[in-house]
Amino acid sequence: MPKKILVIYYSQTGQLKDIVKNIAQPFEEKKDEYSVTYYNIQLKKDFPFPWPSDVFFNTFPESYLQIPSEILPPPEDVLNQKFDLILFGYQVWYLTPSIPIISFLKSGYAENILKDTPVVTISGTRNMWMLSQEKLKVYLRDLKAQLVGNIALVDRHDNYTSVLTILRWLTTGQKEKSGILPAAGISDEEISGSVKYGKIIEGHLRENNFKDLQPELVKNGAVEIRPFLVRVEKVGNKIFTVWSNLIIKKKEKRPLLIKFFKVYLMAAIWIISPIVLVPHILMTPILWFKRKKQREYLQGINLK
């Protein structure tokens, strides 16, 4: 009897859908051995794409504070099967798994689907996903899922170029290269190349042994850790905690506070972040071993 694979994802632009389909390809090619089911999470009231700028920034507090929206029920073939493996694709919004993903995880459906099932998480992001993955690990643990692997595909352009290209993509729908700016998002070569991760996962599922899956994925480039971005994420989480709680509590001042937050966020990216980079570089010799240990942890699947 074929082993059952479930692919869960939410994708506005189609990029994450392409990623998970490529990773699932080795299973699709062996239809006598595997049955693949796709579950695209759908919100009762979906978010727009392209995003109007005001809507994009107004989504911040609910995103960061992990406040769910209502989702449509998953299809019957998702609810009424027990799967042998789940490929779990997710995006990061404001240093946190996206609202659709959080909404699924906090729904009444998630535990029934995820419980006692091996899960490989797959993220497609600009570049900061590390602490978001830590938050996702907690959800998976509480839902009694078995996290056996993680793949993190990112935009390889520098931090500032990727800010410009992702904002252009999200607010205008234009992904393609224009002027001096390259195409937005993860490169087509990296997306198509992600098939190799599916082959690795398929080999471990065939042997019913996921013990060494994550080290093999890491060895093949599935997870890159940039210590400076980890530092930026840590600082960002502290600041986002203050801003998000302030906006939620001061409901009558929300429109004004969102405008202030937008200005602050742009300043943080273009002014504060370069300032933080200098001491980060200077401290490299002193913190080398600490950062090495941090990198090894974040490349893994265990939860502290």
CA 174 and chain centroid, separation: 21
Rounded to whole angstroms, how far apart are CA atoms 267 and 261?
A: 10
Looking at residue 170, its amino acid is: L
Q: pLDDT tens digit string along 238-284? A: 999 999 999 999 999 999 999 999 999 988 888 777 777 777 778 88
Number of domains in the chain: 2
pLDDT of res. 282? 82
182: nearest Cα among 150, 209, 158: 158
Q: Does residue 304 form part of some domain? A: no
CATH number where 144 lies: 3.40.50.360
In a domain, 299, yes or no: no
Q: What is the pTM of this model?
A: 0.95
Range of the domain at 185: 3-224
Residue recorded with tokens 């093949």: 220
- Whether the Cβ atoms of residue 138 and residue 168 lie closer than 8 Å to each other: no
Based on the fold, state whether residues 260 and 218 are members of the same structural domain. Answer: no
Q: Kindly tell me if the per-residue pLDDT of 134 is higher than 90.
A: yes
Q: Considering 182, 198, 224, which residue would you say is the last residue of a domain?
A: 224
Least confident stretch, 145-149, 153-157, 275-279: 275-279
CA–CA gap between residue 15 and residue 35 (Å, rounded): 23
CA atoms lying within 13 Å on the CB side of residue 292: 6
Higher pLDDT, 179 or 190: 190
Q: Which residue has the tokens 């056996």?
A: 148
pLDDT tens-digit series, residues 189-206: 999 999 999 999 999 999
Contact 59, 93 (CB under 8 A): yes
